[in-house]
Structure 1
């Protein structure tokens, strides 16, 4: 699926749930970061994930559903990588070049597991406790 198709399916909430993978999350984050300033990209990502989860009846549990800290942290990492290494021809090229983003555990370089997987972090952005996220 190319970038336009992915973004259209995500925003229309028609992307099959088996295709809403971690890589697809990173690709959409990149597409927003490439087109919009960080604050707007974050707002679009946040709203899009929440709408998609609602449309697909994704349960809101501690380790499922929308997670504010994970969303903000990944958006900051994606935006920073784009500023430092981009732009790229496509979101796939971004993922291939910045493969670190595809490791779900990359946030554990910044957060202890206890801090990241907490109710507070799920509902509100919390700053990392191991090292600072890059500025964007």
Structure 2
């Protein structure tokens, strides 16, 4: 599916839950960053993920559902790569070259597991305790 269809299906919640992968999350972040200033991209991503989760019956639990800190960390990492390397002809092409973004453990370079997986980090953004995020 092309970028426009991916974003449309995310926004209208027709993207199957089985396809709502790590990469699918990152593609939505990337596509928002191409179209919007960072603060607006963050707000659209935040509200979009929450709405998508609700539409698919994904419950917020201590270990599942929406996670504010992870949302902001991944958006910042995509934003940094986009600023440093520029956009590609598609989101998939971008992520094919930015392979560091495919490792779901990357946030653990910045956060201890306990801090990142805390209830506070799930509910609201917490700053890293190991090293600063790239800016």
| Shorter-chain TM-score range | over 0.9
* 2:81 paired residue number: 81
Number of matched residues? 135
Cα displacement string for residues 76-107 of structure 1 (whole angstroms, at most 9, x for unaligned residues): 11001000011111100111111111111000
- 1:63 is displaced (CA, Å) by 2.0
Pairs within 5 Å for 1:1-136: 1-135=1-135
Q: Secondary structure of 1:87's match? A: coil
Q: Distance in 2 between the 1:97 and 1:64 partners?
A: 29
Q: Distance in 1 between the 2:64 and 2:99 partners?
A: 23
- 1:116 is displaced (CA, Å) by 0.3
Q: Secondary structure of 1:104's match? A: coil
- 1:36 is displaced (CA, Å) by 0.9
TM-score (norm 2): 0.98
Unmatched segments (≥5 aa) in structure 2: none
Q: Secondary structure of 1:61's match? A: coil
Q: Distance in 1 between the 2:77 and 2:88 partners?
A: 15
TM-score (norm 1): 0.97
Q: Secondary structure of 1:74's match? A: helix
